[in-house]
Amino acid sequence: MDASSFLESIFVPLQTILPIAYVLLALIVTVHVLQFKSDPRASLLWIALVWFAPLLGAIFYFMFGINRISRRAQRLGVSEDATPSDCTNCIEDFDNDKYWQGFCHLGCKVTGTSQVDGNTIDILEGIDHIHNEFIDAINAAEQSIFLTTFIFKHDDLGKRVVAALVDAKARGVEVFISLDGFGNILARSWSFHEMKKRGLNVHRFLHSYWPWRMPYLNLRNHRKLLIVDEKIAFTGSMNVGRVGNLETHFKLQGPIIETMCAAFLENWAMSTKSKRPVLTGCDAQTQTGEIIARGVMSGPAYTFQRTRTMISGALNAASKSVRIVSPYFVPDKAMLSDIRLAALRGVNVELVLPKKSNHRITDWATKRQLQTLLSTGCNIYLRDDSFDHSKLMTVDDRWVLIGSSNWDSRSLRLNFEFDIECVSEIFAMSVNAVFERKRKASKLLSYADYQKRNRFVVLRDSTARLLLPYL
């Protein structure tokens, strides 16, 4: 048999087999998409891609389309099936308001946890002040320190925190540190390597340099938790390190720390298979104040988009006021509709947003989103003297949401986040005072000024909005 005959004997059957193989591959992926994808638009795009380019589409779907994180979470025992389900009642009766009572039960069903009374929450502002509070708490630690953050910078403040952690370990304090794998990669990993070098028990969340671990690249731990001796805890917008942003963080004491410990343990289990911290006092917290609170752990390991559902529920229960501060504001169509409906019901809706953030494309998409809100009477204030990274929400001068979540698809759908809903008129008054200072430092955006954008800007912003699911 000559060479041409040999090649013909191979390629002629392939001409028959390959089309059949492509069709089978496209069918397999299509069936998987139909079974496991809940978003019709995403499902349609994946199906179109796999039929247009079966091999390439199947590879991309295998790498980026399959939610492996929920299965990994289930194997590690940190999925929602492991979340406490003894949520039987609501502490706050909301003056017999049926909408707020319904919202309270929604919180039970979504989070699987009950409200806890007797918490104290202090508001912290200023980069140096927040870090001084971190360091003072670490220096006073006697038993344990749990720390998880998205970014740990290797600058003057970051080095001070590392030094305090090293000193705590030398005193016999057990130190557990979980850093996000993406936020502390390559040039941003100096603090991680420094802590490793100095003997601290530090790991990175879903971190890998290998291509076959790429499906986890888009899933990030955005939680910001520092828990000392299971008695004092911190959460909010602040990472570790010096930034030029405005930040609002919170210092907490009371029973809410039990849920914060649970959130850290979840991060730890997802970061490493090494020894898990042994909790000794998280479930025995004494009441220190009068704030009712509930922790909201959210992420792709859960069926519900927990924080998003809680926000939507609060917007639908609102009757007087909604105040929002967020560094990024690109909510999906349903959340925009919830805000608009609140405004149309006569609720006073106010938003304080940065005129310019550190993500330009996000800013463009945000501007396109504002049109529907301005047209329904929402008051939008833009701050241009500095980038405000704070994350705050108050509703009806009684309900408050604080934590790590931004108003974007990444925070509400892809990231692991931790937020706390608080019910307290006194605490809401304190948070509203922070809001008022931020509002006064911002400029009201009128609908007339918004309409003055030139056609190029309108086109640019509308194009950026197409990336909304990925921002």
Question: How far from the centroid of its chain's Cα atoms is residue 165's Cα?
Answer: 26
300 within domain boundaries: no
Say if residue 327 is exposed, middle or buried (CB neighbours under 10 Å; 0-12, 13-18, 19+).
Answer: buried
Whole-number pLDDT of residue 137:
97
Domain boundary among 266, 295, 324: 295
Residue 452 belongs to a domain: yes
Residues 43 and 139 placed together within one structural domain of the fold: no
Q: Are residues 283 and 388 in the same domain?
A: no
Torsion angle in degrees (nearest 10) through CA of 322, 327, 330, 331 = -40
**Which of residues 214 and 362 earns the better pLDDT score?**
362
Check residue 210 and give its pLDDT.
Answer: 58
Residue where a domain terminates, one of 274, 295, 316: 295
State the Cα–Cα distance between residues 68 and 217, nearest whole angstrom: 12
Question: Is the same domain home to 324 and 226?
Answer: no
Q: Is 129 part of a structural domain of the chain?
A: yes
Assign 60 a pLDDT band (cuts: 50, 70, 90). Answer: confident
| Residue with the larger pLDDT of the pair 326 and 5 | 326
pLDDT at 81: 45
Q: Tokens 């299509």 identify what position?
A: 30
Asked if the structure places residue 106 within a domain, the reply is: no
146 and 13 part of one domain: no
- pLDDT of 214 reads 47
The single-letter DSSP state of residue 2 is -
For residues 153 and 134, membership in a common domain is answered with yes
For residues 448 and 367, state if they share a domain. Answer: yes
On the question of pLDDT at 297 being above 60, the answer is yes
Angle between helices 360-374 and 455-465 in degrees, nearest 10: 100
d(CA 32, CA 30): 5
In a shared domain, residues 445 and 409: yes
Q: Which residue has the tokens 């998987």?
A: 32
Give the Å distances, CA to CA, from 329 to 190, 367, 462.
31, 9, 15
Number of domains in the chain: 3
Q: 228: domain range?
A: 75-101+114-295
Q: Which residue has the higher pLDDT, 470 or 145?
A: 145
Q: What is the pLDDT of residues 159-200, one digit of tens each?
A: 999 999 999 999 999 999 999 887 777 656 788 889 999 999
What are residue 427's phi and psi, to 5 degrees?
-65, -40
- Secondary structure (3-state) at 115: coil
- Which residue type is seen at 129? H
Q: Are 160 and 135 in contact (CB under 8 A)?
A: yes
Please state whether beta strands 201-205 and 174-180 pair in parallel, antiparallel, or not at all (unpaired): parallel
Q: Region 308-324: what's the mean pLDDT? A: 95
Answer whether residue 91 is part of any domain: yes
Q: Average pLDDT for residues 109-124, to the nearest whole number?
A: 91
Please provide residue 345's backbone torsions phi and psi, each rounded to the nearest 5 degrees.
-80, -5
Of residues 399 and 102, which shows the higher confidence score?
Answer: 399
Q: Which amino acid is at 215?
A: P
Sign of CA dihedral 13, 14, 20, 21: positive
Calculate mean pLDDT across residues 149-154. 93
Q: Who contacts 323 (Cβ-Cβ below 8 Å, separation ≥6)?
A: 350, 351, 352, 392, 393, 394, 395, 432, 435
SS (H, E, C) 417-446: EEEEEEECHHHHHHHHHHHHHHHHCCEEEC
At residue 249, the pLDDT reads 97
- The answer to whether residues 41 and 84 belong to one domain is no
Residues 90 and 238 in one domain: yes
* Structure-token pair, residue 416: 């692991």
Is residue 301, in this structure, part of any structural domain at all? no
Question: Residue 291 — very low, low, confident or very high, per pLDDT cuts 50/70/90?
Answer: very high
Pair 131, 184 in one domain: yes
pLDDT for 366 equals 87
Encoded tokens for 265: 């343990």
Measuring CA to CA, which residue among 240, 241, 285, 239 is closest to residue 262? 285
Domain containing residue 374: CATH number? 3.30.870.10
**Do residues 42 and 124 both lie within one domain?**
no
pLDDT band of 213, cuts 50, 70, 90: low
Give me the helices (H) in 282-403, please. Answer: 306-317, 333-344, 360-374
Q: Which amino acid is at 338?
A: D
Same domain? 62 vs 129: no
pTM for the whole structure: 0.85
Confidence of residue 84 (pLDDT cuts 50, 70, 90): very low
Distances (CA, A) of 247 to 122, 238, 354, 392: 14, 6, 13, 11
Cβ contact 336:373 at 8 Å: yes
Q: Is residue 109 part of a domain?
A: no
